[in-house]
Structure 1
Amino acid sequence: MIFYPGRHIRLLFLGLVCFCSAPVHAQKERSFLKTADSYFMVGNYRAAIPYYEQVLNSDKAQPLALYRAGVSYLAYDKDRASDYLYKAQRLNPNVAPDIEYWLGRADHVNYRFDDAVEHYKLYANTLPKNAQARKEVDLLIQQSRTAQKFVQKPKDLFVRNLGPTINSPFSDHSPVISRDNKTLIYTTRNRTAVHEKVNTDGEYTEEIVEAVRLDADTWSEPRSLNLHLNSKGHDASIQLFDNDTRLLMYRQSQNGDFYVARRKESNWSLPEKLNGHINTPNYESDAFITHDNNTLYFATTHFSKKGDKDLFMSRKDANGVWGKPVSLGNTINTAFDEDSPFLTPDGKTLYFTSRGHNTMGGYDVFVSHLDSVTQTWSAPENMGYPINSPDDDTYFRLNADGTMAYLSSYRMGGYGEKDIWSIDLSKEVKIKGQVANAEKVDATTLEINFTSRPKNNRALQYYAPVLSTGDFEIQLQSGRTYQVTFKQNGQVISTQEYEVPATAAPEVVKTAAFRILEDKLSQAAPVKSKK
């Protein structure tokens, strides 16, 4: 055999490199895992994920890293969370004492409710008979079954994400819409010029921002409101009131208090703390001031022995001072958190969020109605799916005419963590119409077409046949203005406008009369709605 010393030297060198790089690689992997675990232990899952991914890129068969990465992903990527948790269990069925709990949570938020219940039961079997955690598991099982019931009978509503201009990879919540529907004020934990330092939970400090509607589905880039409004701590939007001239807001002082800022042309004043008996040394989270500015509904932990949030109301006295809070009672408040009250302008319908009652999981949106005789609230009704999801759904707010709602949700299909979504609540209503002077023409030869003004980039068109009496019936979407075109023998003989007032109530019958073949066309005022 011919000896080539140079070749052997190169092979020896490559062997030494491989021998030396293996410990270096292992050391780097241990460093990534240590860093990931340090973030995981303090609940900074956002920061932990990239380090776990570095570890798993090198070795996908690490059950503990898969388990912790799966738990970390639950708020950001529910599919991946489930994938990692199941892989972790397949590699090591005993990877963690609570693996069945987390598999149940992953299945729950991924709409696999039967599987979630099975995992919750398996986890319960690992607990001592008198363990407090068993009550939590029983509640989760109940929530899974409730979620399954609602998902199987969804409401005919479209829930739409407001898109990446509004929603960021971080938490975006607390939407506040102006009366003209053109301005959205909300709270973000995205990076801004005011807040550039990441908190221990992996997100930036809450800041109030504003976006302007450019068209039906498009918003401007959000801009930070002035430094008077945003402090160095957490600040959050709550409500525009008093004809949109004042902003009710949350500020991180004394564990969380309510403030009011006044609009000064295109800017805002320095916020002032609410007076009276509202703010306490404990946590005040969210609130709502009624249409007459005299009653405040709010959530606080101050009166709870367990530290959960309950809903209270306070009335303003003759001197403009908020009076002592009164609980909304056990019909509304539970042993769990109640938050985010919102009332309709007539003060008779209350929307709020709760972790109690019959939720689908986490916070759900509920509605309750005021009995005008007894002045008591009805048993809360879950708003159902798709308004609610198996994860947290909070900060439900209606626009001025009640045809559109906004809420914050962790649901699937978002852009990161909590996102802001819109819900079209307008309903189809029956219109009973009459061509008042139909005797001037053969009514049966008339064609009537209703065309709505474009909304959400689409116009709706409807056709109504006419009886010989001039009467017709048609189903129209509420909250829209229609161009009504009368044709005979293909010729347009009259064009008018008809507005169907906004309503979120089903089966409303409205009556309208039209006149045609006159020099000055007129439309009679619609008769008052009948339910």
Structure 2
Amino acid sequence: MKCRKYIQGLSIYLFLWIPFITNGQFNHVGEEYKEVEAHAKELMLNEQFYLALPIYHYLDSLLPNNPKYIYPLGVCYLNKVEEAKALSYFEKCLKEPSKYPDRLYYYTGKAYHLQLEFDKALANYEIYKTLLVKAKKKSNKALLKEVYRDIEMCHNGKELIAKPLDITINNLGSSINSPFPEHGPILSADESVLIFTSGRPTTTGGNIDKVDGQYFEDIYISHKTDTGWSTPLSIGDSINTHAHDASISLSADGQKLLLYKSEKEYFGLSTQGNLYVSELKGMHWTKPVKLPSQICTKNWEPSASISADEKFMIFSSNRPGGFGGLDLYIVKKLPNGQWALPMNLGGVINSPYDEDAPFIHHDGKTLYFSSNGHKSMGGFDIFMSKFDLSTFNWSEPENIGYPISTAHDDMHFSWTADGKKIYFSTTRPEGFGDRDIYYSEVHKEAAKLVVLKGIISDSLTSMPLDATIKVLDSKNNEVIGIFNSNSSTGKYIVILPEGKNYNFSITSQNYNVCTDVLNFYNLEKFEEIEKNIKLCPKYK
């Protein structure tokens, strides 16, 4: 799933001022370059900033410091999330602001905003706001709403930075991150496998998306070793295509992968995508299957998270009837295994802006998500809300704080089951380029959970088995979850909350059923238990 631009839908304002400065002032470029200039202008109008940037650099080399070129160069760099370079051009423009549109002050403010220089950002936002009000144009209403929101987020940022979290944010390193965008980190419950998305030259086909000038995205997989993460490999041709493929969520047992795949929109007007699921059969992922129509609509559903017991899923959608932009919806699994009708999570979670990239904690009642609404300090920040089982209400979302949340888009948050590490994707000055994947070790009491893992194998040959693990509440026989072992390795992972006794039933074709009872009623802390299971073959 492509990251959103920081400046969307407003590039038309770049060129409303062109006639003002081209009446004979800068007509020194030969006729042979007029076509190049027109092409660059068209790319900017289409918000194809990555493609426009090298062309404007070429034109700037012919006519250095020409206002027609240095201003678009700044906007291109701003949308490439290289705000320091953007500022170097905007500061040149501010030496003679009368030659540029009023929008210059907004873009300069945005660049300072991204650098967390809130006072400088506010100064430029205020100038821009004053100019909009003074102009008294009805068309400025949306622009005023935008700048008022940015001013509000700057004040949020000043408040959040004044009370920083006592943590260190670490880049995951060059084995995972590259000069190209990486995002969507998802981990197995035991943190042995990392699946993520990247748009780099090695993606399937190595093609560039003409819409934005970046490489099409593929899904990659890496395994944890004694020395760190292994070199990422493509997750496989059954999943990765020549279009966009992005990692979304992984089931607790690691056997089901939710992913996003781009498609042509129904009327062929633009690129669109939907949510799919693939299953791990042995060492290979199956061809992805689209989720049902009540989830995947003609609108946009870019992300989702499935609960540890696979009984419900939370996903984002911009379908009609929401609170504005992308909203979060919940959909529950029926007893027959089908998905019910989705329900909007409501106005406590959803804002008039965008809520996206949900992550359901392994405890099944804590939700993390990204939003550019609520008390964001700029772009998408990461928020947390808890579900109260006594009132059936969500708590007011809380920004989890700086330096996790910044003025950039901070997204795709995930928490390891043991509560010791968080992973997320963002843009930071020290990164390898564009968005990178980061992690942090946290000092917080882990949820009272049990991660039960091991190998299921034949009792005589030790051959790994493809088995189904059914977990029931000992008190009322309610099905807590159904999990699967991997058919090639026999590995299984089960996540269970504290406070209950559980009955286990392990079945595999041509093997006797194995049952067990485990007591986690008085669990005091997080525990990881390794339990290998031997199944006895049936004899005819």
TM-score if structure 2 supplies the norm length?
A: 0.71
Change (3 A) 1:348 1:53: same
Quote the offset at 1:273 in angstroms.
2.0
Greater alpha carbon shift after TM alignment, 351-360 vs 205-214: 205-214
Q: Aligned to 2:204, what secondary structure does the other structure show?
A: coil
Q: 2:250 aligns with which of 240, 250, 254?
A: 240
* CA–CA separation in structure 2 for the residues paired with 1:307 and 1:152: 30
Q: For 1:242 and 1:212, locate their aligned partners in 2 and report how far apart those are by CA, in whole Å.
A: 16
- Counterpart-to-counterpart distance in 2, 1:134 and 1:238: 35
Q: 2:194 aligns with which of 177, 184, 190?
A: 184
- Sort the Cα spacing of 1:222 and 1:34 in 2 relative to 1 into closer, same or farther, 3 A: farther
Partner SS for 2:303: strand
Aligned to 1:290: 307
Distance 1:228 1:527 in 2: 41
Shift of 1:242: 4.1
Q: Secondary structure at the match of 2:277?
A: strand
1:366 aligns with 2:383: yes
Aligned to 2:125: 120
Q: TM-score, normalised by structure 1?
A: 0.72
Tell me what 1:101 maps to: 106
Aligned residue among 141, 145, 154 for 1:135: 145
**Secondary structure of the structure 2 residue equivalent to 1:124:** helix
Identity of aligned residues (%): 35
Give the Å deviation of 1:276. Answer: 6.3
Instruction: Please name the residue that 2:92 is paired with.
Output: 87
- Separation in 1 of the partners of 2:360 and 2:322? 27
| Aligned CA-pair RMSD | 2.6
Question: How many residues are paired up?
Answer: 411
Judging changes above 3 Å, is the alpha-carbon distance between structure 1 residues 202 and 306 closer, same or farther for their aligned structure 2 residues?
Answer: farther
What is the deviation of 1:110? 1.2
Tell me, in whole angstroms, the C-alpha distance in 1 between the residues paired with 2:286 and 2:191.
23
SS in 2 for 1:53: helix
Which amino acid in the other structure matches residue 384 of structure 1? G
- What is the aligned partner in structure 1 of residue 46 from structure 2? 42
Alpha-carbon shift at residue 92 of structure 1 (Å): 4.3
Cα distance in structure 2, aligned partners of 1:266 and 1:237: 18
2:74 pairs, out of 70, 73, 76, with 70
1:212 aligns with 2:223: yes
Q: Please say which structure displays the higher CA radius of gyration.
A: 1
Query: Which residues of structure 2 form unaligned runs of 5+?
Result: 1-26, 266-271, 447-521, 527-540
- Cα distance change on mapping 1:71 and 1:249 into 2, 3 Å: same
Q: Is the 8 A contact 1:350 1:367 kept in 2?
A: yes
- After the TM superposition, which residues 290-439 of structure 1 pair with which residues of structure 2 at under 5 Å, given as runs? 290-304=307-321, 308-427=325-444
Residue type at the aligned position of 1:230: N
CA distance in 2, matches of 1:423, 1:136: 33
Structure 1 residue runs without a partner (length 5+): 1-22, 430-525
Map 1:495-514 onto structure 2 (within 5 A): none
Stretch of structure 1 that moved more, 48-57 or 367-376: 48-57
Q: CA deviation at 1:180?
A: 2.8
Matched, 1:111 2:116: yes
> Once the two structures are superposed, what CA deviation does each residue of 1:148-173 show, in whole Å capped at 9, x if it has no partner?
22122211111112233322333211
Contact 1:173–1:408, Cα closer than 8 Å, also in 2 = yes
Q: After superposition, what is the alpha-carbon deviation per residue over 1:236-282, rounded to whole angstroms, capped at 9, x for unaligned?
A: 11111141111111122463322111112221111122236222121
Aligned residue among 207, 214, 230 for 2:240: 230
Distance 1:379 1:428 in 2: 21
Alignment match, 2:214: 203
**Contact 2:331/2:340 (<8 A) preserved:** yes
**Secondary structure of 1:239 counterpart:** strand
What is the CA deviation profile of residues 429-452 of structure 1, one whole-angstrom value per residue up to 9, with x for unaligned ones?
9xxxxxxxxxxxxxxxxxxxxxxx
Give the secondary-structure state (helix, strand or coil) at the position aligned to 1:39. helix
Q: Matches of 2:68 and 2:162 in 1, distance apart? A: 36
